[in-house]
């Protein structure tokens, strides 16, 4: 999967990076490389399913889709 990210230089130094297609997925780093590594981790955590995401209903069906 490929996602576009936006890198912005911070006034205090370093970079802020966010993913427009994933609201609230944001990170930062002292260098461009560090910011990109940090946003990769943030994306993985953002997309990781959590127990609250599961719908427990007798009519529910779980399916997988490829991206």
The CB density around residue 19, as the number of other CB atoms within 10 Å, is 18
Q: Full-prediction pTM beyond 0.85?
A: no
* pLDDT band, very low/low/confident/very high, at 65 (cuts 50, 70, 90): confident
Choose among 24, 15, 16: nearest CA to 43. Answer: 24
Residue 5 predicted with pLDDT over 80? yes
Q: Do residues 22 and 46 make contact, with C-beta atoms less than 8 angstroms apart?
A: yes
Mean pLDDT calculated for residue range 13-38: 97
Q: Residue range 10-26: average pLDDT?
A: 95
Report the candidate in 7, 67, 66, 19 with the shortest Cα–Cα distance to residue 43. 19
Residue-wise pLDDT tens digits, 33-61: 999 999 999 999 998 876 566 666 778 77
């Amino acid at each position: 999967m490929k996602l576009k990210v936006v890198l912005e230089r911070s006034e205090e130094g370093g970079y802020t990076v966010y993913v427009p297609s994933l609201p609230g997925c944001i990170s930062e780093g002292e260098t461009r490389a560090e910011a990109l590594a940090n946003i990769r981790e943030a994306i993985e955590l953002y997309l990781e399913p959590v127990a609250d995401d599961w719908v427990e209903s007798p009519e529910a069906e779980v399916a997988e889709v490829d991206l």
